[in-house]
Structure 1
Amino acid sequence: MLDIRKNLPFQKIKLYCDLTDWYQLLTPVEDYAEEAAFYRRLFETHCQRLPRDLLDLGSGGGHNAAYLKTTLTCTLVDREPAMLALSRRLNPECEHVRGDMRSIRLGRIYDNVLVHDAVSYMTTRADLADAIATAFAHTAPGGVAMFHPDYVSETFEPGTANGGSDGEGRALRYFEWRWLPDTGKEMYVTDMAFLLRDESGAVEVIHDRHIMGLFSRAVWLNLIAAAGFKPLAVPFEHSSHTESGHELFLGLRPISERDT
């Protein structure tokens, strides 16, 4: 049996360390406009206070913040220096902090907390509970935390995807393969192959393995509630997701302990 846990608890993902110069060819900033608009609507709908600021845990290249910063003062947290540098170029007006979503404590609270797909790298329930606890510690009373894993166990299906784009004299194409190494484990594997063509026309092929957590809807809701939030599952509305079943989770922090 393949022991994928040998890569844990810290994964060195090439995409976020060695390949950041190519990152925007994999996921162009403009692809995030519709998604960020949906997040903004949810924050405005569910926040019981005037939403003025946002903490983005696992902010990556800062693509969501590129749109959310127009109405929210954003603080971006990521553990990879190369991703923070990429985001600083895109979002120079935002505060950037290096840290791990499982343990960072900034000593501040925010009207909104976003934990985007980086939460999918929480591969154990303990890690996931720690990330949710971090979100709770930074969410103001009456505020909202949002968690958006790529999949829950009820919606995951092994499969493939491909894509990429062209830049100034360069191009990237990728192939993604999602599979379950052991159905008894709450995780799955995403193997990615990148074809990178530089200005000279030379092409390099790089393999990158991502170990991802895969938890049931009930586990998500229970852990969010255990942290002190009121949990809520919300269907994800996006033109690229035409099939039902894809969802994200909200943690609504009560205004007072009497509301719990």
Structure 2
Amino acid sequence: MWKAYDELAWTEAWLEDPAGVEEEVASYHRLLKEHAGRPVREVLHLGCGAGAHDRALKRHFRMTGVDLNAAMLTLARRTNPEVEYHQGDMRSVRLGRRFDAVVIPDSIDYMASREELTLAFETARHHLHPGGALLVVAKPRELFHDNNFAYVSERDGIHITVLENNYVLPPGDEQYEATLVYLIRQGGELDVQVDHHRLGLFSQATWEQAFRDQRLDLHQQDLEGIYEPFMIAEGEYPMRMFIGVAPGGQAPAG
């Protein structure tokens, strides 16, 4: 298990960027309202993490969250006590009900192979009402490149610096490596932790095919400027919002 989502999960509260999350969620809300084939009231968030996105999403929708990591869910429940959370794997979880939309805004990269990506899409499709929408934020391989980030925060006598290096593996791997170095200073003591993540990185064509395989009518739009402020050198961190709409349903009100 990754340290970032287990013993270091508590650092999420120190490092989150509320303004950036609000900007992201405003885009998600607009796209769901614009494209979904039914009014969007109940939303399933796969890979919800510590609940930062849900804090903004819950102002627009009735949220249900799923995450693999117990430590992250503890934080999410504390942040959003009115949200229903379940521990589960987005590749296999089945909640026994459907939603107006499913969103995966922050964790689809952890599907490290096409097989895992397919399973996650099958899970999302299984939980959609007719006319429901699946919103995924992804990094098409054609747009992604090596980069470095620095995140810094200090409060309650604890100073945290996190350095993140993203390294794109050769094309045959369809993956990239994210290596994080945590420098945590508390009470005059320095704790250094290193965490290594191997993540999926798929072509534009692969993303489009994943939506076609689930018979979802695809729309897309770029999401820019969210992580650029944290880049160590000048550059871009392009992401793309894909929204697929299931057949059936009704036109959304408004």
Secondary structure of 1:148's aligned partner: strand
Query: Is 1:133 aligned to 2:112, yes or no?
Result: no
Shift of 1:250: 1.0
Matched-pair contact (CA < 8 Å) for 1:57–1:77: yes
Deviating beyond 6 angstroms after TM superposition, the runs of 4 or more aligned structure 1 residues are: none
- Alignment partner of 1:247 out of 240, 245, 250: 240
> Match for residue 94 of structure 2?
105
Query: Is 1:215 aligned to 2:215, yes or no?
Result: no
Structure 1, unpaired ranges of 5+: 1-11
**Alpha carbons of structure 1 residues 237 and 96: separation in structure 2 relative to 1, 3 Å:** same
Alpha-carbon separation, structure 2, partners of 1:156 and 1:237:
13
Matched-pair contact (CA < 8 Å) for 1:27–1:164: no
> Match for residue 252 of structure 2?
none
Aligned length: 243
Query: Is 1:196 aligned to 2:184, yes or no?
Result: yes
Task: Name which of structure 1's ranges 176-185 and 164-173 shifts more when overlaid on structure 2.
Answer: 176-185
Matched-pair contact (CA < 8 Å) for 2:224–2:238: no
> Match for residue 185 of structure 1?
173
Q: Deviations over 1:199-227 (max 9, x none)?
A: x1211111000111000011001011101
Secondary structure of 1:117's aligned partner: coil
Secondary structure of 2:188's aligned partner: coil
Secondary structure of 2:21's aligned partner: helix
> Match for residue 59 of structure 1?
48
Structure 2, unpaired ranges of 5+: 229-234, 250-254
Query: Is 1:154 aligned to 2:142, yes or no?
Result: yes
Shift of 1:164: 2.0
Q: Deviations over 1:28-67 (max 9, x none)?
A: 4443111111111111111121111110000001111101
Matched-pair contact (CA < 8 Å) for 2:137–2:239: no
> Match for residue 20 of structure 2?
31
Matched-pair contact (CA < 8 Å) for 2:149–2:165: yes
> Match for residue 166 of structure 1?
154
Task: Name which of structure 1's ranges 163-172 and 52-61 shifts more when overlaid on structure 2.
Answer: 163-172
Alpha-carbon separation, structure 2, partners of 1:148 and 1:63:
15
Query: Is 1:68 aligned to 2:68, yes or no?
Result: no
RMSD, aligned CA: 1.7
> Match for residue 221 of structure 2?
234
Alpha-carbon separation, structure 2, partners of 1:114 and 1:233:
14
Shift of 1:180: 2.8
Shift of 1:239: 5.8
Task: Name which of structure 1's ranges 100-109 and 229-238 shifts more when overlaid on structure 2.
Answer: 229-238
* Greater percentage in strand: 2
Letter in 2 for 1:146: L
* TM-score of the two chains, using structure 1 as the length reference: 0.88
Shift of 1:84: 0.4
Alpha-carbon separation, structure 1, partners of 2:33 and 2:165:
36
Shift of 1:181: 3.8
Alpha-carbon separation, structure 2, partners of 1:39 and 1:99:
23
Alpha-carbon separation, structure 2, partners of 1:192 and 1:68:
27
